[in-house]
Each structure stands twice: as structure tokens, then as C-alpha cells.
Amino acid sequence: MSRSFTRLSLRAAALGALAISALAIAPARAAEDAVIIPAPTMDLQAADGVQTAILAGGCFWGVQGVFQHTAGVLNAVSGYAGGSKASANYTLVSTGATGHAETVEIKYDPKKISYGKLLQIFFSVVHDPTQLNRQGPDVGPHYRSAIFTNSDEQKKVAEAYIAQLNAAKVYKKPIVTKVGPLEAFYPAEAYHQDYLTLHPTQPYIAYNDIPKIENLKKIFAENYIAKPTLVSNAKVTN
């Protein structure tokens, strides 16, 4: 079942044809398997103060949900990156023509979790980094795998980790995740925030995203927290 199809009520009617088209070419199986991968051999030095990671891995509902259940994450906000401020809204981004990717801004405490560990979770349980411009049933460049960096150090760590994982051949295909500097992040509409927690039985969430939370708990037990850190309750804001 395509996320685009299940969310027609949230879109402008003009996007209905696009959603149905995406459903027609979606694979029968939507949920992605987690992959157990090694930790990065290069990581950032633990710094003082709140740090930020910006990650895109398909539908931001699931990406946000996973990191909201990750210890050390102070806030995880769904939004858009890669395009202009004028086009940073769900209706336009869903056309796939804005340059934006559905993205999550992660504020974290580097004393409790490292940037490298966030990337390990991202590549292992959040999404399949070998799928180009899609994740499961969701198709288009706005669902691409991307790491938006805010420093040269983040860029070096991300690129080194991708090279490490490709060399180790932990996936059957090469990683297609793009690494590039963040120009701007735009928070998504309020109804997208905390979506996994608020709608756990929604068919798309139950099939595609709840298994990601279960995989986080199983594979990264030491990093898992049962009570999610929701945007509505976050102590750190954007």
C-alpha cells in the first residue's frame, strides 16, 4: 500500500492522479529489512552543547519515529531540505519537482550518542540506502536517501562511512546516499509531526514503520528508549 494513496485526504485533490500513479508502480512488498552493519571507524569528537544531524531516508514519518525512540536525541523534526523556502510545503514537495527531500532534523546530545551512531542506525534500520529515489512503496526524488551536512567534519565522517560499508559489502548493491551541505531546513506542517506515535494503527505506519521501531529495539537495544521524545514535548526547539 502506498503512503501517497493512504494520505489522499491530506493532499490537494489535484495530486490524486500522482498518488495513484505511484501506487501502480509500487512493489507488492513495502516494509524494508534491517541490515546489521559495523559501526563507523571514523566519528566526530564529542563536543559540548547540542549538535544537529540532518538525514533523509524516505517517508519522514518513519525516520522521525525511529530517532524519537533513540536515546540521546533531544528532538527530531520532520521537514524538507534541498529546495527553496517557497516550495517547502507538502503539496508541492509531493510532486517531486521542488528539489526537496522529506528530511528529519535531529538535535542530539553528543555526550550520550555520537554522530556516527546516528548514521549507523540510519543505514541499518531507518531505510535501505541502496534504493535510488524511492523507499519501499514511495517513489520520487523527494524520497531519496541523503545526508545533509553542516560541517566539513560531518561530511568526512559520512563519506568515510559510506566507503567503509561499500567496501565491506554489507548490502547486495552499492549505497546511493548523497552527501552534501545543508543550505536550509524547513519544518513540515504540524500534522506531520509525531505522526508515528499519534497514528500507530494507520496501515502505512503499521506495515512500513512500526517494524523499524522493533528493529531499533532489537539491534540497538542500548540506544533504544520506549517512550518517544516527541516534538510536542521536546526541551530543545528549532
Amino acid at 175: I
Q: Is 59 part of the annotated catalytic residue set? A: yes
Rounded Cα distance, 74 and 50, in Å: 8
Which one of the listed residues 59, 88, 121, 216 is annotated catalytic?
59
Rounded Cα distance, 126 and 145, in Å: 10
C-alpha cell at 39: 559501526
Active site residues: 59
